[in-house]
Chains A and B, each alone.
Chain A
């Protein structure tokens, strides 16, 4: 299998050759993509479809088979396991449990963060019990909005009572590290309606919030519709408002779209932003493992047939590292960069950064470079300017 080739070559002398000082922590994250949804939301361009039970079963087998191909290559174990989608909860508690058990049996999975994304409408007692027994200790729930007409426009079938019930169930079974997804800039959203959603979130005592600005993706139904969307300036205000609101309530705005109470940051997602390694299983899942980036194509049948992943080049170079680090509040640190590359942040980057400092888009200190909230909003542009 090509996959073997990529990894075995990479596990040889590679880390030394590329980066003399840095050795990857060989604790790996595993992402498992569940490409299933009961219905497709009109804004979503993630890979998913409505499966039959047979398809769910064949998928379970394929996931386990795929996982088996990595077990000898992961040295020190797995410290984050993440089920994303699609709708993992729609895959079924038992199947998720089997995957977790497999990982536990074949990898060293101690002290790991195990997250499952859930749709409130597919959460029931049975699912929660299964997940709890399996050792799931973090839930990420796609609420998107607590306001009915916004949820309807987003194609979310559940209402906020279902969100409340789901959260109560998880907590009753001992899972209280819960994250809620909130969308900004959705149709009909105003400052007032956003406050309503935020008030609701706070009332639920969750530990983590992901607040994503809606992006209209080509090929989705949203791209074809004329929607009553707030304009660019309004979306920016909504974003800044959200940040202020949550910070005032003890949350740290630790990444462009993520907020957490102290020490409740998503450990799995931090791997992405720290340019650490992870294995992605499932169609459309991306991996950065053994220094290589590769992915499984958006093709369910091909995944079931156990086809090799598609190579996507070397990963972890300076450019990538800078680009990802700047998504975080802590930003691009001298310390991090030195540990990784054995040198200081290139002076041309710091020099260019100073131009943005005047406009209040970032801060440059001896510790490093980090974007402000206003800078987060312009991060694509700023990062491109800093790099090129």
Chain B
């Protein structure tokens, strides 16, 4: 368990500035997910933390111990950082058995044979794969290989466990099982975990905190719920949530007491206490704004419930999917999506 602090990390590949002033604090025992689309710098950040890449600027500390001080060209060796990494491809050594794969790092540490046996078996038991100890990686399924990769990483009892899109090569069902498995592992070991993914569902379901990356920068760090309910910008709102959030063009007017928003849905006033007043808001003049409406926030009634926040809409299409039904609705020219639990009668 440990606290990691990244300060002003910059990373270049030639002229390409891939990490831009990254600042990130990961508290002891956190399950921190680095989330973002492909090419946004999340894997590079993980590789910088692991020591497989060198940052050109910035510092990193683990439990106040200096690990990277780029300005002084100081980079602690990867094996001395007290961490381990699970690769996206698993990177299991194909010529070694499961036992040998897990024991490799322990042999390098010159542990006694009995101690290695005990530690490896404990790791294999934790990942529930002790019966495969004599098999080679190519004799295992993708899910089993994944478990071996994690067992290898936790065998050395790292203070920090790094996971680079570890579930992306698994099928949908196995992915759900492994998500639960990783959550259990985090709970049982209490190890600080940094997890890289582009899959928002993985991020939302497993993390204690999420750092959202955009073009080499961290745009928002928050809890999963915080990120979902209060995204920092339209891109963050659009990236998080499945099905995607509805954006509705609107006109805003702030008179110092509340924000009046006019859209195809009618007029709604947001009280001042619900507004983020640290942002620049034009006062006493109309301005363009966008309403974000999560599909599950919409309730559909077939008869008028006589509530002030209702608006008549037409059903454009509906898509029953068993546990939920996606309904596309129109209000005037504005089209938006609603999601209803269960099988909803087709209108």
On whether the two chains bind one another, the answer is no
